[in-house]
Structure 1
Amino acid sequence: MFAALGRFVTRFRWYVIGAWVLLAVIVGATAPALESTQDNSEFLPDHYESIQALQLQEDKFSDAFSPGAILVIEREDGGTLTADDQAAVAGLAQELAPTLGKKTFQQVVVAQNEVGEPNLSEDGTVMFAVIPLADGATGYDAAAFDDAEKLRDELGELTEGSDLEVRATGAVPQGLDSQESGEDTLLIVAIATVVLIVGLLALIFRSVLICLLPIVVVGLVSSIATGAIAWANDIFGLKADASVQQILVVVLYGVGTDYILFFLFRHRERMRQGAAVKDSVVYSLDRAGEAIASAGGAVIVAFMALILSSLSIFRAIGPALAIAVFVTLLAALTLVPAVVSLLGKALFWPSKSWQKEPKHGTFVKLGNTVGRRPGLTALVSGGAMTILAIFALSFNPSFDFNSSLPEGVESTEAMKTFQEHFSAGAAEPVPVLVDAEGADVTPTQLEEFKAALGDAKGVDQVTGPLPSSDGTAYQYYLTLADDPVSDAAQDNVDGPIRDAAHAAAPEGTEAYVGGTPGIFADMSAAMARDYKVVFPVAAAVILLILALLLRSLVAPWFLMAAVGLGFAATLGLTVIAFQFIGGESGLIFMLPIYIYLFVTALGTDYNILMIARLREEAREGRDPHSAAAQAVTHAGPTIAAAGVILAGTFASLMLGGNTLIVSMGFALAVGILIVSFVMSMFFTPALTSLLGHAAWWPGHGDEKRDEEPEKELSPTA
């Protein structure tokens, strides 16, 4: 099949290239923009308590106070705020009101204490004002961020020449800073990725055109994939996380370069044997095409398994990445061979060294080592991954998204000042809703409920109850002792606060605790459920793909076990680096899913490439030990080059300054290095060599085939 595809794309190469260019133009001109959201509540299904609280609040308290921004006010000299300063703040609030973006913000509310005086910190140096969200505003869309930017500009103009410093923080300004940080990260990642790919390809091939090939091809593929993802999100109502753009860049360039390398190494090897360019393209696609297609299929399946997730963040990103890989896979099997056949030997210009087969290289020595001592190789490589995997048990998930903002941005610095001088939970009171539909609730019961909430661990203050207009619901607000986005707040809401609310709810009523910590608590529960569903389903389908590719019921099991060990080793090494050495209290809760997405899926890629080459060598009549040695010798350089490039692209994420992205970049980079250089290079071929003929039962795909002799190679292009 792949030989026929090779003959087609070489014969009609101009049409193939033209079709891809035309498709990119059409998609680029007609597809909607790829948008993302930072509203965490949009990621959860309706049956979770935090979402039920939000729905009840919207139904019964549509005019409820919802803070959109917090203004933190200080003197520039750090001194005590005088009566004149406090009056100036009140005047500032009045001047600011007409200029606020009415789509997002209402009037400025200067916080007051119990007797109606401005709410000053104990040392008298800081006061704050709150700007509620306007009716119908989410605070997470592009218009909200535009309004937040205008708010900061207006504050700068109104305070110019005064002694006051006013900084904006809270949900909308933090979202704005997060978006700008993400845009900066995206630019840094894109530049670093392109520079890295060009640099490494220059070292490997010493060819100008090969250096440019992935950049041009992936650039073309990117516009098509991004448009297709945007269409899919619109059609199925999916909500993409704000980090999806950065991840897409890495996936498209990393995976795209991998598949191009899988083909180019085989093409160069065949060209060295004297084949004509077109014949070499057909032969290389015939030999590498199955491995590339199977590897891509495994990655797509792994990504698509996320549609089973209960969190829409993963239901969106799974298909998005699957679409990206699918388009990249099609390009690797059609566009790349067409371009290579068109360029001919000029592809390798100006290098001439590609014509010489290295006789005594590093991979020859490594291959001989694996072939001679497979038992020791498997023990050392498997033992190293097992030791690292033990530390994965210490993984502590964190939901503190604000900690991922870079140091020095306005919202981060203002929030630090606020929390140093006021109750940490005052930044975002947590709503508690009581649904009293059909119940006869007395004032005494409502006060008893309030008292029970106040006695719960982590609660500083309770305000309310506020009855709904129809008297069928009541709303309380909790001021927590901890930052609402912190892990401590999440633990308290998920445990003692919800326990107290449920137990003390008046008879016939239902109590719901929502807010940001409630959303995070429910996301944690959803993640625990996803681990039990998504991982096994993906593993089962990948097992099936491997079984069909290898015609074996034995090899898929130890290949998947090797990939699982690589996953655990990656998580363990990340825990060592950030929790044990870096002193972090935890790692972002999404990290295991992302390691699964890339390390497990792409690790399967490298395993497939190695095992396919090992089977090919066995079919040439070599014994299991010699086949393993030859597989490492010939497939090793491809896997090493692909692994270094892909790990480097993931490592570029660490340049963004966002701690969430930094930890993710580290984990994915070291994970790719583990699965390429430890698992695929040593552990997999060593295990296969040890099992020998039994590894291919019952299909025995390693047996030598009775094939027609190959046609004599023609040296002409």
Structure 2
Amino acid sequence: MFRSIGRIVGRHPVLVILTWVGIVIGVAVVAGAVAGKGSSTSQQQTDFLPAKYGSVQAAKLSAKYFPQPSGAQATLVLVRSDHRKLSDGDMSQAATLVDQLNQRTHLAKYDGIEPTSLVRAPDRTAAIATAQFTDTSGQADVMKSMKSLRADTKDVFGHSGLTAEYTGEVAQVADAGATQALIVFGTVLAIFILLLILFRSIVVAVGAVALMFIVGQVVNMLLAIAAHIWHFKIDETTESILPIVLFGVGTDYVVFFMFRYREQLRRGEDHRTAIASAIGRVGEAVSSSAFAVVVSFAALILSQLKSLRLLGPSLSLAVLVMLASSLTLIPAVLALTGKRLSRRASWHRPPRGRVAAGVSGFVTGRPTTALLISLAAFVGLGAVAFGMHADYRSPNPPSGTESGRAWADVRHAFPQGVLYPTRVFVHTADPSGLTAGELTDTAHRLGAVSGVASVAPATLNKAGDTAMYTVQLAEDPTSPAAVAVIRDGLEPLATDLSRGAQVVKVGGITQAQSDFEQALARDMRIIFPVAALMIGLILVLMLRALLAPALLMVSVALGFAATLGASVIAFQVIGGAPGLAGTLPMIVYLFVASIGTDYNILMVARVKEEAARDGSTMRGAVRVAMQTAGPSVAAAGVILAASFAVLMLSSYVSQIGFAVAAGVLISTFLSSWLYVPALATLLEQRIWWPSKAARPTAATLGGSLESEPDAA
């Protein structure tokens, strides 16, 4: 199949390019028709939890019986410019200025600031007010309104002696957008530089980046269409990781193709024949590795968390589209425009490849030592992973942004229990409603729960059948201690009070965090083995063996543990963080399992190809595979690691960026360059058990490939 694809691309590149142009135009037309009608961004955990969890049920009771504006909000934070306490005169002036701001500012999807919402902190160092929008954050009109609102606010408060800045959901999404743009720019720049170093061609670097950008826009438009059809919300993790996967994985596949294309040129093939041969030879391995990534991410469909159920298909879609483009569009453009490039003497000259030659000589000469070195590194880092502490709190906005500065002022001035109150809802189906005695008794029982600091008098709805209690916890509402208060105190009490016609639900950020932890723990118990099983099946089908896939899956487990250990060292030991993000093990596992398998497949596939040649010994096959496929795997690993490392610019996903970058490097150099070739050398043909020794195939006939390293 891949040889046929190669022949079509090599002979009819214009037809292939026109097909892609038609696809891009068609998707763009449909995406333009639904633009702004389906997708939105959310930071609320309850937006991504299943309906069975208490925090979601409480949110539904709140929306039904105590309706509030449905749009997103931002928080206006006021402090004195001289950092003194706010006087009564300052508060009066602030209310007047807020009123002036409302009269001046008329923006799309913006509903103004209610002056009566202005609240001064107990220590008088800050005051806050709520800016209400009529649509969800992430919508283009809302983001434009937020930008204009900030400019108007600075004008109105400019000479008042008060500093006015915004934090909260809309403001944070707006600031995250600027950070995201910086991340994408940094990723593209890093990829461009690395491609320029690898191929010493501005044409290749610019062309590859431009084509991947176009393909990336196709993926984004497809997601926009899907968001319109299925009415889902996109979270920050998906928005941050998707461009990295698009460019990082796309670049990997381009690198694998280009390295094999140059190898075919060195064998004496002409330009278009080399393109067809490269697709035919590398297509199966790249496709198998891509499908290993796809099935790994697809396992997230089994998650209870809507955010992860969205992340999995989104990343799978990105990988599949990039795979298709790397085997068709990019080779077609190269076939049409790269004939002059193919004549460059440097692309025909056998490369030196001293590093690959040296490592291959060491691994094949001393395979036991190489294997022990890799295992020692895996186990050493993996042992540190046992010291990991999970932290489920949402990261604070970056300190260098307006929302970060304003949020720091709010946290300093207001008790966190006031900012994040727990809401307890009591609803009865009894026509007589809730009695005064029942309300008092419930308030008393809530206040008696260990860890509860105070309970405000109940707020009744108009019908008198639903009450809302505002409960302030004694602990930081986002801390593990506060979650324990919910699980050990308030949730059991709510269950006890829910009897007969009465239903009691606990809501708020602490309850949502507790539900999120439970959902994630369930997901990991299911998704980890399912992803491993699917990847193992891909390996069995591709390698037509059982022992080799089993050994590769061992390296996946070791790489996962080592990556977590490296993250613990970086953030808990060196960085002093209280723990790693609760979702990190899930994301690291999927990326390490898929990307690690990705590179292992390419290395093992080349070993098998070389071993199938007449007269090739396993030791010789490993040496040639390391010298030919090794440099492309190393280059791809460095590029993908650099792409993910750029995520460290964002406080929201910095841990993910570091962990995946570390995991990719561990998979590349410990697994693909040491563990896998050392095992292949030691086990020889037994590694293909229960199959017999590798036999020559159509892909391997036609003479031995060069043994020179395929390096830049």
Q: Same fold (TM over 0.5)?
A: yes
Query: Cα deviation per residue 1:529-571 (whole Å; 9 max; x = unaligned)?
Result: 1111122112111111111111112211111121121122111
**Farther-moved stretch of structure 1 (295-304 vs 64-73):** 64-73
2:130 is matched with: 131
Match of 1:428 among 420, 432, 445: 420
The 3-state SS of whatever aligns with 1:401 is: coil
Task: Identify the match of residue 386 of structure 2 among 387, 393, 399.
Answer: 393
Letter in 2 for 1:87: S
The code of the aligned residue for 1:662 comes to S
1:446 equivalent to 2:439? Answer yes
Deviations 1:134-192 (A, max 9, x none): 8x766675555555555544543443332333444xxxx32233223322222222222
Residue 588 (structure 2) aligned to one of 574, 586, 595: 595
8 Å contact kept, 1:610–1:680: yes
Answering whether residue 48 of structure 2 is matched by residue 56 of structure 1, we say no
Contact persistence 2:532–2:593 (CA under 8 A): no
1:341 to 316, 335, 352: 335
Deviation digits for residues 611-637 of structure 1, max 9, x if unmatched?
000111111132332222222121111
Counterparts of 1:706 and 1:69 in 2: how far apart (Å)? 63
1:478 aligns to what SS in structure 2?
strand
1:478 aligns with 2:471: yes
AA partner of residue 215 (structure 1):
V
Q: What is the SS of the residue equivalent to 1:477?
A: strand
Give runs of aligned pairs for residues 520-539 of structure 1, distance below 5 A.
520-539=513-532
1:573 deviation in Å? 0.3
Counterpart in 2 of 1:209? 203
CA distance in 2, matches of 1:442, 1:130: 34
Q: Are 2:301 and 2:313, in contact at CA under 8 Å, matched by a contact in 1?
A: yes
Give the structure 1 partner of residue 290 of structure 2: 296
Task: Indicate conservation of the 8 Å contact 2:41/2:137, yes or no.
Answer: no
1:258 aligns with one of 252, 257, 262: 252
Find the aligned partners of 1:56 and 1:701 in 2 and give their Cα distance.
Answer: 66
Contact 1:647–1:669 (8 Å) recurs in 2: yes
- Cα deviation per residue 1:96-151 (whole Å; 9 max; x = unaligned)? 55567785456232567xxxxxx5634xx4353443858x7666755555555555
Name the SS for the 2:409 alignment partner: helix
Corresponding residue pairs, total = 696
Q: Residue 579 of structure 1 aligns with which residue?
A: 572
Contact 2:293 2:594 survives alignment (8 Å): yes
Q: Which AA in structure 1 matches 2:57?
A: Q
- Tell me which residue corresponds to 2:538: 545
- Equivalent residue number for residue 21 of structure 1: 21
One of 617, 635, 638 as aligned partner of 1:641: 635
- What residue in structure 1 maps to residue 709 of structure 2? none
What per-residue deviation string (whole Å, max 9, x for no partner) do you get for residues 475-518 of structure 1?
11123345544555444334433334444567753321111222
Distance of 1:44 and 1:507 partners within structure 2: 27
With 585-594 and 338-347 compared, the bigger mean Cα shift is at 338-347
Contact 2:271 2:342 in 1 (8 A): no
Bigger drift between 199-208 and 158-167 goes to: 158-167
Find the residue that maps to 1:400 and give its secondary structure.
coil
Q: Aligned equivalents of 2:506 and 2:700: distance in 1?
A: 72
For 1:513, what is the secondary structure of its paired residue? strand
* 1:147/1:217 CA distance change after superposition, 3 Å: closer
- Structure 1 residue 659, shift from structure 2 partner: 1.9
Q: Quick check: 1:680 aligned with 2:672?
A: yes
The counterpart of 1:159, out of the listed 157, 160, 169, is 157
Alpha-carbon distance in structure 1 between the residues aligned to 2:63 and 2:564: 40
1:36 and 2:36 aligned = no
Counterpart of 2:354 in structure 1 is: 361
1:87 aligns with 2:87: no
Rounded Cα–Cα distance in structure 2 between residues aligned with 1:11 and 1:108: 70
Q: CA deviation at 1:681?
A: 1.0
Aligned pairs for 1:64-213 (under 5 A) are 68-96=73-101, 98=103, 104-105=111-112, 107-109=114-116, 121-122=122-123, 125-131=124-130, 145-146=143-144, 148-149=146-147, 151-168=149-166, 173-213=167-207
Tell me: CA distance 1:384–1:634, structure 2 relative to 1, closer, same or farther (3 Å).
same
Provide the residue aligned with 1:236 in structure 2. 230
Matched-pair contact (CA < 8 Å) for 1:256–1:329:
yes
Q: Deviations over 1:214-260 (max 9, x none)?
A: 21321221122221222222223332213433322211111111111
Please say which of residues 136-145 and 413-422 is displaced more in the overlay.
136-145
Contact 2:72 2:169 in 1 (8 A): no
**Partner of residue 321, structure 1:** 315
Q: Does 667-676 or 371-380 show the bigger shift?
A: 371-380
- Structure 1 residues 69 and 176: alpha-carbon distance in aligned structure 2, compared to 1, 3 A threshold: closer
Change (3 A) 1:446 1:140: farther
Q: Which moved more, 1:366-375 or 1:388-397?
A: 388-397
Structure 2 CA distance for partners of 1:393 and 1:157, relative to 1, 3 Å: same
Is the partner of 1:290 in helix, strand or coil? Answer: helix
1:599–1:75 CA distance, 2 compared to 1 (3 A): same
- CA distances 1:291-346 after superposition (whole Å, capped 9, x unpaired): 01111111111121111111111111211111111111111111223233334542
| 1:116 alignment partner in structure 2 | none
Q: Quick one: distance in 1 between partners of 2:326 and 2:71?
A: 50
Q: In 1, Cα distance between the equivalents of 2:89 and 2:180?
A: 45
Query: Aligned partners of 1:578, 1:75: CA distance in 2, in Å?
Result: 35
Q: CA RMSD in A?
A: 2.9
Residue identity opposite 2:125 in structure 1: V
Question: Cα distance 1:709–1:108, how it changes in 2: closer, same or farther (>3 A)?
Answer: closer
1:498 aligns with 2:491: yes
In the TM superposition, what is the alpha-carbon distance from 1:367 to its structure 2 partner?
1.0
1:323 to 1:69, Cα distance in 2 relative to 1, 3 A:
closer
Contact residue 44 and residue 311 of structure 1 kept, 8 A: yes
Alignment partner, residue 708 of structure 2: none
Q: Is the 8 A contact 1:423 1:481 kept in 2?
A: no
State the one-letter code of the partner of 2:349. K
- Which sits farther off after the overlay, 139-148 or 284-293? 139-148
Report the residue type matching 1:163 in the other structure. Answer: G
Q: Please say if residues 48 and 307 of structure 2, whose CA atoms lie closer than 8 Å, have aligned partners that are also in contact.
A: yes
TM-score by length of 2: 0.90
Q: Distance in 2 between matches of 1:675 and 1:665?
A: 15
Q: Does the Cα contact within 8 Å between 1:259 and 1:292 map onto a contact in 2? A: yes
**TM-fit CA distance, 1:679:** 0.7
CA distance in 2, matches of 1:140, 1:196: 27
Task: Please give the alpha-carbon distance, in whole angstroms, between the structure 1 residues aligned to 2:294 and 2:115.
Answer: 49
Q: Equivalent residue of 2:341, what SS?
A: helix
What runs of 5+ residues in structure 1 fail to find an aligned partner?
113-118
C-alpha distance in 1 between matches for 2:241 and 2:72: 31
Secondary structure in 1 matching 2:83:
coil
When residues 66 and 289 of structure 1 are mapped into structure 2, their CA distance, relative to the original with a 3 A threshold, is: closer
Residue 414 of structure 1, CA deviation: 3.0
CA deviation profile, 1:647-690 (whole Å, cap 9, x unmatched): 11111222x3x222222211111111110111111111212222
| Runs of 5+ unmatched residues, structure 2 | 706-712
Note closer, same or farther for the CA distance 1:133–1:49 as it changes in structure 2 (3 Å cut): farther
Write the letter of the residue equivalent to 1:604.
T
Correspondence for 1:115: none
Partner Cα separation in structure 2 for residue 540 and residue 699 of structure 1: 20
- Amino acid corresponding to residue 21 of structure 1 in structure 2: V
- Kept after mapping to 2: 8 A contact 1:109/1:131: no
Shift of 1:384: 0.5
What SS class does the counterpart of residue 460 from structure 1 fall into? strand
Output one character per residue of 1:433-480: Cα deviation in whole Å (capped at 9) or x when no partner: 112224975433322321232233443321131223223221111233
- 1:375 and 1:708 map into 2 onto residues whose CA distance is 29
In the alignment, the residues of structure 1 paired with residue 482 and residue 573 of structure 2 have an alpha-carbon distance, to the nearest angstrom, of 23
Partners in 2 of 1:63 and 1:174 — Cα distance? 17
